[in-house]
Structure 1
Amino acid sequence: MPSRRHQLLAWAVPRLRKASELESPDVERARLEERHAATPRTLPTRLVRGFEKRFCVVTEVLTGASGEFASYGITPRGTDPRHTLLYLHGGGYVSGVDPNHVRYATRLAVELGARVVLPDYPLAPEHTWRDSHPVIADLAARWAEDSDRLVIAGDSAGGGYALALALTLRDRGGPQPSHLLLHSPWVDLTTSTPETAEFSARDPWLFLGKLQAYAAWWAGAPDDLARPEVSPGLGDLGGLPPALMFCGTRDTLAPGCRLLERRAAEAEWDLTYVEVADLIHVYPLLPFVPEADDAWRRTLEFLR
């Protein structure tokens, strides 16, 4: 049985995020475009106590196909890390960096003695994968070259993005990431797994209609939906670094994670999949939850 704290957050988080099913693609597009225009693209640090005293931030401006966007390099003050964690944030490709992403990423930075690189990539529906994927792959390749070890991590859409970057780096050759860390990754934007609708019916947070609209906008064209840069779970998984993946079963993305596990075994890719019954989307990022504490211990054992 899930803990009481998990059950409370499973009820509260979707309501705080105002989660609901798609009204129509046009209404949702207009809502998102209005929100993006009104939201400053800054690093949200309010959930990290004493952030300015504890961490140093270097902002790098990256130039993608549609213009410039920021990437934040976060290091604990007084350190010169040789390890780098490239973290791709979730949000369905339509939401930017969240305070919980910063809280989780900086926690990893402290525990691993690592620099965290957090790209604030351009969002759908105004942008597609083509506007950021190549330049972030260049960024990852540079940090793989300049670090003793590069870990690529992400949650939800960011987990899918992390896997897509790993595929691109493998195909390019050169230095590779040492590990992948994936929290409820969105790896199949075609939603071809037949169990998806069944799982979505139990998910209090993610709604299938919205995911299908977001997937179409991120892909940019129907023919791009199954590309490995967009749906990496459908790509060639051979030759990837060891990976750890978490997901609960009250999660619309669980069938995609199961698909990834099956395809990883076929490709002889070293993927460890931790699935916990009745837990919600990206549960390892939830604060003060025993199940998240267990995922944290497993994560540190894996990355150390």
Structure 2
Amino acid sequence: MPSLRHELLAYAVPRVRRSRELDDAERERGRLERWHSGLDRSLPTRLVRHLHQRYEVEVDRTGDFPTHVLTPRTHDVEATVVWMHGGGFVAPIDAFHVRYADRLAQQLRARVVLPDYPLAPEHTWADSHDALVEITARWTASGPTLLGGDSAGGGIAVAVAQSLRDRGHEQATGMLLLAPWVDLTTSTPSTAWFNARDPWLHLGKLKAYAEWWAGSPEDLARPEVSPALADLAGLPPALMFCGTRDLLLPGCRLLAGRAAEAGWPLRYVEEPGLIHVYPLLPAIPEAARAWRTTEGFLGRSFG
């Protein structure tokens, strides 16, 4: 049974985030474009105390978009965490992403790489995928690398891993996926059932965001857009979390099932009654339990 703290957040988070179903696609597009035009794209660090004391924070602008690189000041770097942030492909890096990536980095004595990829609806996957593959390849070639992401970023991470494999690049040492959005076709039959039980995500918005990210309905099933539908063989060991009050659960189950068929070593942890990206939520016992599982996975993967 979910904890009381989880249930309080399951009530509060959708309201704080002003989550609601799509009323009109063009009106939503206009709202997002106005929001994006005034966005502060600097790294949000308010939830990470003393971050600038622990890390040298740089912005790599060699690609088509900025990438934040956090290098530890107090010890040698032993690994790299490349984290693809979530946000439905329409929202930028959040302070919760920075805090979680910092926690992973402390565990691995790693640097953090946070690509600030361009967002939908103004942009599609084609505006960032190749660059994200090259960014990740640069770090996987330099040493042990954890490739991961939450929600939309988790789907990007899987698609990047597939392209690393297909293009002959060094693979990541391991992957960490928090409720990844890996099937943008939303064709799994149980999707509507989970939509009725998710207090945060809404199917109408998901379909609009998915089509904007894909660029057209015909491209929704592309490997770069819906990596759960693509070849999963040869990907690095991975750990994935999802709760059962999450609209993205059908896609996670699809990914887990197809991973087993392909021989991809993916461990899938499904928690009854928990909401979207619950391992990112603060001060709940379910997130603490997920972190203990994550520590074990990192210890096995990175020694």
User: For residues 195 and 42 of structure 2, what CA distance do their matches in structure 1 show?
Assistant: 32
Match of 1:213 among 184, 208, 215: 208
Alpha-carbon distance in 2 for matches of 1:150, 1:42: 24
1-structure distance, mates of 2:221, 2:145: 27
2:26 is aligned to 26
Separation in structure 2 between the aligned mates of residue 13 and residue 157 of structure 1, nearest angstrom: 18
Which one-letter code corresponds to 1:270 in the other structure?
P
| 1:189 Cα deviation from its structure 2 partner | 0.2
2:61 is paired with a residue whose SS is strand
Following the alignment from structure 1 to structure 2, what is the Cα–Cα distance between the partners of residues 103 and 141?
24
Runs of 4+ in 1 over 2 A off after TM superposition: none
Q: Secondary structure at the match of 1:95?
A: coil
SS at match of 2:260: helix
Q: Which letter does structure 2 place at the counterpart of 1:90?
A: G
Paired AA for residue 258 in structure 1: R
Cα distance in structure 1, aligned partners of 2:62 and 2:125: 15
Match of 2:67 in 1: 71
Kindly tell me: are residues 20 and 62 of structure 1, through their superposed partners in 2, closer, same or farther at Cα, counting changes over 3 Å?
A: farther
The residue number in structure 1 matching 2:230 is 235
Indicate the residue corresponding to 1:192 in structure 2.
Answer: 187
TM-superposed deviation, 1:78: 2.0
Identity %: 61
Q: Which residue is equivalent to 1:40?
A: 40
Q: Which residue does the alignment assign to 2:117?
A: 121
Q: Which ranges in structure 2 are unaligned for 5 or more consecutive residues?
A: none
Q: Deviations over 1:169-220 (max 9, x none)?
A: 0101131111110000000000010101100111010000000000000001
Q: Specify which structure has the higher proportion of strand.
A: 1
1:283 aligned to 268, 278, 283, which one? 278
Q: Which residue of 1 aligns with 2:87?
A: 91
Paired with 1:241 and 1:272, the residues of 2 have a C-alpha distance of 11
Question: Residue 248 of structure 1 is aligned with which of 223, 228, 243?
Answer: 243
| Alignment-derived partner of residue 291 in structure 2 | 296
Deviates more, 1:220-229 or 1:12-21: 220-229
Superposed, 1:49-198 pairs within 5 Å as 49-64=49-64, 69-147=65-143, 149-198=144-193
CA contact (8 A) 2:21 2:205 kept: yes
- For 1:237 and 1:106, locate their aligned partners in 2 and report how far apart those are by CA, in whole Å: 28
2 CA distance for matches of 1:192 and 1:74?
Answer: 39
Whichever residue aligns with residue 116 of structure 1, its letter is: V
The amino acid that maps onto 1:233 is A
TM-score by length of 1: 0.97
Structure 2-normalised TM-score?
0.97
- Match of 1:74, SS? strand
CA contact (8 A) 2:78 2:108 kept: no
In 2, the alpha carbon distance for the partners of 1:254 and 1:102 equals 24
Offset at 1:75? Answer: 2.4
Count of equivalent residues: 299
Q: Verify the 8 A CA contact 1:124 1:218 in the aligned structure 2.
A: yes
RMSD over aligned Cα atoms? 0.9
Taking the aligned partners of 1:76 and 1:301, their CA distance within structure 2 comes to: 23
> Matched residue of 1:241: which SS?
coil
Q: Is the 8 A contact 1:75 1:109 kept in 2?
A: no
**Once the 2 structures are TM-superposed, how far is the Cα of residue 265 of structure 1 from its aligned partner?**
1.0
Unaligned segments of structure 1, at least 5 residues: none
